[in-house]
């Protein structure tokens, strides 16, 4: 055998071994995980008279799928004292009518609508959050995206996490609630079968660094200690930034066992691809080294690419990886009780490795109808209308 061919075979074998090793360890991490799902029965009644009042900050932009139900879930918490602040930055935003309808039909809800024009930088979500923070009343803050839905014990779970000694931030993983067809299923598969297991594995192997906009709970004093949202106006990965600042102050980021639901609606390929690329580019901005190696989290595409280099043994490995992929898929569906078609999960793997490569080169992301360039520090620049 020619030396170059031998080198290729050895490299392909090592690559596939590393990728399968990742998958096996990720699967074992999933097997030992005991998530608290939003639709599960509530735990014991709350007995926490001394827990601090909470302000939920909900930045809104347009009508997310199921927005009214999402907001209702935050307004029906089994918690002593809290408020829900919904912010929009356009007086014509259709989300306003959704909030006003809830206020009219449920005057008992601790729900307030705030229309404002706060502007700090290029990140529109941070602008919205800053305007909400100025109107908040309570010492504990919970930041949560508009597409999130929770159960009644959500705030209880977060409050318990914040009471752990040394905790600075509490965050949550999320499962998909699919709205729509094929492209929504692909994004749901990327969330549940790629992203979520990788977070669990990283948390098990090293310090917890994950912090996501699905849920960020922290004391207001902690946010203000680094300058609050004013220090984050141009940051693309604003959620990661919050977790990093907490760790710089010697506090930990707690990964709650509570799993929230996120609405996934991708009308077409372009929406799916732009969403996935923005996520990938965000991850690359905050962890370039780790992201560069994350291609090993796609064993099936790697097996298809590398298998022919290994002769008949390679094709045997492709079949073996495919069988394991089915087992991996079924285990995650059972754990999360959120079914995604197997075909969508397999295709999502191949799209995922392609998007991984694109994100290594992409200098711009699209978000809310605007295009942004991203500098070497992960800051958003030059937002323009598309």
Per-residue pLDDT band for 57 (boundaries 50, 70, 90) equals very high
The 3-class SS string of 118-173 reads CCCCCCHHHHHHHHHHCCCCCCEEEECCCCEECCCCHHHHHHHHHCCCCEEEEEEE
**Residue 187, pLDDT above cutoff 80:** yes
The DSSP code sequence of 59-116 is: E--S--TTHHHHHHHHHS---SSEEEEEEES-TT-THHHHHHHHHHH-TTS-EEEEE-
Domains for the chain: give ranges and CATH numbers.
Answer: 3-33+298-385 (no CATH), 36-286 (3.90.550.10)
Per-residue pLDDT band for 14 (boundaries 50, 70, 90) equals confident
HSE (side-chain half, CA atoms, 13 Å) at 68? 10
Stronger pLDDT, 192 or 364, i.e. the higher one:
192
145/132 Cα distance (integer angstroms): 13
Per-residue pLDDT band for 385 (boundaries 50, 70, 90) equals very low
**Residue 169, pLDDT above cutoff 60:** yes
Per-residue pLDDT band for 182 (boundaries 50, 70, 90) equals very high
Dihedral over alpha carbons 324, 327, 332, 335 (to 10 degrees): -140
In which residue are the tokens 């779970």 written? 157
């Amino acid at each position: 055998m020619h030396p170059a061919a031998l080198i290729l075979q050895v490299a392909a074998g090592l690559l596939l071994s590393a990728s399968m090793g990742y998958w096996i360890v990720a699967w074992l991490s999933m097997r030992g995980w005991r998530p608290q799902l939003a639709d599960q029965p509530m735990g014991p009644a709350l007995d926490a008279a001394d827990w601090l009042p909470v302000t939920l900050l909900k930045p809104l932009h347009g009508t997310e799928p199921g927005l009214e139900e999402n907001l209702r879930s935050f307004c029906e918490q089994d918690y002593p004292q809290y408020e829900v602040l919904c912010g929009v930055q356009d007086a014509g935003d259709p989300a306003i009518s959704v909030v006003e309808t809830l206020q009219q039909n449920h005057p008992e809800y601790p729900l307030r609508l705030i229309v404002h024009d706060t502007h700090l930088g290029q990140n529109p979500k941070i602008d919205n959050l800053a305007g909400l923070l100025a109107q908040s009343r309570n010492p504990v803050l919970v930041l949560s995206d508009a597409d999130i839905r929770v159960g009644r014990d959500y705030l209880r779970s977060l409050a318990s996490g914040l009471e752990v000694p040394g905790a600075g931030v509490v965050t949550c993983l999320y499962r998909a609630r699919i709205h729509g067809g094929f492209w929504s299923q692909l994004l749901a598969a990327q969330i549940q079968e790629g992203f979520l297991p990788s977070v669990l594995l990283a948390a098990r192997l090293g310090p917890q660094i994950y912090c996501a906009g699905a849920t960020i709970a922290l004391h207001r004093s902690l946010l203000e200690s680094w300058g609050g949202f004013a220090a984050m106006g141009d940051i693309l990965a604003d959620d990661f930034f919050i977790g990093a600042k907490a760790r710089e102050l010697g506090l930990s980021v707690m990964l709650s066992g509570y799993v929230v639901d996120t609405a996934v609606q991708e009308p077409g390929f372009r929406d799916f691809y732009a969403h996935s690329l923005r996520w990938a580019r965000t991850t690359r901005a905050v962890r370039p080294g780790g992201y560069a190696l994350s291609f090993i989290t796609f064993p099936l595409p790697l097996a298809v690419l590398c298998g022919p280099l290994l002769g008949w043994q390679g094709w045997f490995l492709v079949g073996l990886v495919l069988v394991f992929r089915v087992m991996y898929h079924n285990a995650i569906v059972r754990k999360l009780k959120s079914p995604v078609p197997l075909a969508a999960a397999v295709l999502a793997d191949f799209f995922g490795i392609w998007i991984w490569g694109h994100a290594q080169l992409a200098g711009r992301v699209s978000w809310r109808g605007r295009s942004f360039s991203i500098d070497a520090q992960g800051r958003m620049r030059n937002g323009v209308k598309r």
